[in-house]
Amino acid sequence: MHVIATAGHIDHGKSTLVRALTGMEPDRWAEEKRRGMTIDLGFAWRTLPGGERIAFVDVPGHERFVTNMLAGVGPVPAVMFVVAADGGWQAQSAEHLAALDALGVRHGLVVVTRCDLADPVPAVRQARERLDGTGLAGAEIMTVSGLTGAGLPELEGALAELVAGLPSPDVEGAVRLWIDRVFTVKGAGTVVTGTLTQGTLRIGDELDVDGHRVRVRGLQTLNREADVVHATARVAVNLRGVDRAALSRGMALVTPDAWLRTQVADVRLAPDAGRRGAATLHVGSAAVPVQVRALGAGTARLTFDRALPLRTGDRALLREPGRHEITAGVHVLDVRPAPLRRRGAAAARAAELGEAGLPDAVTLLRWHGVLSGAELSAMGCPPAGEPVTGDWFADPEHWSALRRSLADHVARRPPLDPGVTLEAAAQVLGLPDRRLVEALVAPPLALRSGRVVPAGDALPAPIARAVAELTAHLGERPFDAPTPERLAELGLTGKALAAAVRSGALTSIGKNVVLLPDALDRAADTLARLASPFTVRDARLALATSRRVVLSLLERLDARGVTRRISDDLRICQARHGSATPAARTDDRPR
């Protein structure tokens, strides 16, 4: 299916033309039929002779209903622009064209209607002149009469050519259905309608609307029930989990977690509005009050009255209250801009935005430094390249700067400081995930026991001398751990001892039990040569150490699975015997 807006100024001529093409009445309200004026959005559809199905969104032409008109054309990819032969180009025709141009509508055709009432040549000439310089320049111009049917076969052929040239929609993309109608059906509940421009809707899908989860209970397209609807299509969605009173035109049904809802966005304006103050932003079917802060060079920061699901690349337009013209077209550049806190920040931001065309993932990373792949996709720019860790991507220059900052921060710590925890480092660097800090750790930094420390951290001279003296002693008697008094004599207490252990020069295997780093491995080798099962006394004699030391060693070896306690005072060495029956003792030493 293809969806086309019918725009222009002459309401009666548009409705007559749509009725002649489709055999359907697009004006839904009695007031519209009585006054011959389109007040709200109308809907009709037609299957062309070649099999193409086209849905028409008929929008109001009168200036009093421009907000309704913009709600209809906002999500629609193509337009049939109607001009009356007996009325020619009107002020509202110009506003409709300006809106379509600002919204980036580049596919359409112009229909000069009511040709049974006047010569169409002047209106054709006016239309061609007005289209020049817009996105619809070069659009085909047809002349018809909705009343007599003259030119309708040719118009059908032109419509078929128009829809054949439309870009293929992304049916796998995330859904964002701007709501243009909300009503209740007896026995079914809440129903919303809109133009599905990307993605696919299925019965049972869970969606999000203004932060609330809802579920698709039923689907219709062109008055037919459907289990699945692919873009592009007019669709009615029966929702479960929300009351009709909670919904209104301008809200959007979106795929959960696939969109960023934002109240601030940096945008490009064309033409440059160069102003501050209040305006109305029209995007999709929404009309939202905004505050405009000009940044410079045709860029601005918009602050919305309510959060909107926007992405980089979205098109919208601004209108000032009380003015019957489009203030500026809007091209969304960044939906998560950093606050402007310092003097000169606005000018610097304008320079950044001015350097970019339509931002991509590389640009967003340059602006934000670090973003997850999910965030980049939700912002409208799926990531490329390899993540720095997990699903996190980083700008290379920013990543290098973070690494330097981390190294500087660690270097400023006192010599005996135990290092910086990953959580503290993440807070200092402004990073959202400790895994990013882990990925930053590289020489001259190292990660020990969950803390970032200098790699090969050199010990202060007094501690190094004490460690050397203790190492010499333990080299001869590796399990003769020094007493607390001896450690105090050497100056290896508190932060000094912690620094020596952290450097890897010593290891602590229990309270006040300090040995060389390979002590556990050497103990395991020695105990493996004992007949099993062996007692604590056997282990103490074999290791030539005290009971307090051997108990700490055995507890650590038990925890490693090297030894296993089988009774109050008996152990086997699993490294040698595994789960086999313990070997018989071959000695008759007293127990």
Task: Please give the Cα distance from 213 to 34 (Å, whole number).
Answer: 41
**Residue 569: predicted pLDDT:** 86
Check residues 451 and 8 and name the one with the higher pLDDT.
Answer: 451
The alpha-helical segments, DSSP class H, found in 103-151 are 121-131
**Residue 186: predicted pLDDT:** 87
pLDDT, one tens digit per residue, over 4-26 is: 887 876 656 677 888 888 888 76
β 42-47/212-221 pair status: unpaired
Task: Please give the Cα distance from 434 to 424 (Å, whole number).
Answer: 9
Residue range(s) of every CATH 3.40.50.300 domain in the chain: 2-164
**Residue 323: predicted pLDDT:** 67
In this predicted structure, the answer to whether residue 459 has a pLDDT above a threshold of 80 is no
Residue range(s) of every CATH 2.40.30.10 domain in the chain: 176-254, 260-359
Task: Please give the Cα distance from 8 to 247 (Å, whole number).
Answer: 29
- Tell me, what amino acid is at 297? A
pLDDT category at 446 given cuts 50, 70, 90 is confident
pLDDT category at 276 given cuts 50, 70, 90 is confident
Lowest mean pLDDT among 321-325, 432-436, 527-531, 542-546: 321-325
The CATH-assigned architecture of domain 519-577 is Orthogonal Bundle (1.10)
β 78-84/2-8 pair status: parallel
Q: Which residues touch 351 (CB under 8 Å, ≥6 apart)? A: 296, 297
CB atoms within 10 A of CB 424: 15
Question: Two tokens at 417?
Answer: 């400081």
In this predicted structure, the answer to whether residue 422 has a pLDDT above a threshold of 90 is yes
Task: Please give the Cα distance from 109 to 103 (Å, whole number).
Answer: 16
**Residue 206: predicted pLDDT:** 97
Residue range(s) of every CATH 1.10.10.10 domain in the chain: 519-577
Lowest mean pLDDT among 118-132, 194-208, 408-422, 448-462: 448-462
**Quick one: which of 155, 157, 172, 174 has its CA closest to 115?**
155
Question: Two tokens at 18?
Answer: 């749509």
pLDDT category at 585 given cuts 50, 70, 90 is very low
Q: Give the residue-averaged pLDDT of 211-232.
A: 94
Q: How much is the mean pLDDT over the chain?
A: 87
Task: Please give the Cα distance from 353 to 357 (Å, whole number).
Answer: 8
Q: DSSP secondary-structure letter at 175? A: P
Q: Which residues touch 485 (CB under 8 Å, ≥6 apart)? A: none
At 297, is the secondary structure helix, strand, or coil? coil
In this predicted structure, the answer to whether residue 62 has a pLDDT above a threshold of 60 is no
Task: Please give the Cα distance from 528 to 189 (Å, whole number).
Answer: 76
Question: Two tokens at 482?
Answer: 């020094």
Lowest mean pLDDT among 308-317, 359-368, 405-414, 553-562: 405-414
The total number of residues shown for the chain amounts to 591
In this predicted structure, the answer to whether residue 34 has a pLDDT above a threshold of 90 is no
In this predicted structure, the answer to whether residue 512 has a pLDDT above a threshold of 90 is no
**Residue 580: predicted pLDDT:** 35
**Quick one: which of 390, 359, 358, 364 has its CA closest to 376?**
364
Does 2.40.30.10 match the CATH number of domain 176-254? yes
Which residue do the tokens 């009503």 mark?
Answer: 183
Task: Please give the Cα distance from 194 to 174 (Å, whole number).
Answer: 15
Q: In whole angstroms, how far apart are CA 256 and each of 53, 205, 535?
A: 30, 10, 63
Cα dihedral angle (571, 576, 577, 583), rounded to 10 degrees?
A: -70
In this predicted structure, the answer to whether residue 322 has a pLDDT above a threshold of 90 is no
Give the residues across from 420 on adjacent strands: 452
At 293, is the secondary structure helix, strand, or coil? strand
Q: What are phi and psi of 214, to 5 degrees?
A: -135, 165
DSSP annotation string for 75-93: T-SEEEEEEETTT-S-HHH
Classify domain 260-359 at the CATH topology level.
Elongation Factor Tu (Ef-tu); domain 3 (2.40.30)
Question: Two tokens at 314?
Answer: 């979205």
**Residue 38: predicted pLDDT:** 54
**Residue 517: predicted pLDDT:** 84
Give the percent of the chain with pLDDT over 90. Answer: 59
Q: Which residues touch 149 (CB under 8 Å, ≥6 apart)? A: 20
In this predicted structure, the answer to whether residue 493 has a pLDDT above a threshold of 80 is yes
**Quick one: which of 93, 1, 17 has its CA closest to 52?**
1
Q: At what angle do helices 396-411 and 361-368 cross, to 10 degrees?
A: 30
Give the residues across from 454 on adjacent strands: 445
Lowest mean pLDDT among 174-183, 214-223, 562-571: 562-571
The three-state (H, E, C) secondary structure of 48-68, written as one string: CCCCCEEEEEECCCCHHHHHH
Give the percent of the chain with pLDDT over 70. Answer: 91
In this predicted structure, the answer to whether residue 109 has a pLDDT above a threshold of 60 is yes
Task: Write the class of the CATH domain 2-164.
Answer: alpha beta
pLDDT category at 458 given cuts 50, 70, 90 is low
Q: What are phi and psi of 131, to 5 degrees?
A: -75, -25
Task: Please give the Cα distance from 46 to 73 (Å, whole number).
Answer: 19
β 252-254/513-515 pair status: unpaired
In this predicted structure, the answer to whether residue 30 has a pLDDT above a threshold of 50 is no
**Residue 576: predicted pLDDT:** 44
In this predicted structure, the answer to whether residue 504 has a pLDDT above a threshold of 80 is no
Task: Please give the Cα distance from 111 to 139 (Å, whole number).
Answer: 10
HSE of 287, CA atoms in CB hemisphere, 13 A: 15
pTM of the predicted structure, to 2 decimals: 0.76
Check residues 322 and 235 and name the one with the higher pLDDT.
Answer: 235
DSSP annotation string for 402-450: HHHHHHHHHHTS-TT---EEHHHHHHHHT-S-HHHHHHH--TTEEEETT
Q: DSSP secondary-structure letter at 304? A: E
In this predicted structure, the answer to whether residue 262 has a pLDDT above a threshold of 90 is yes
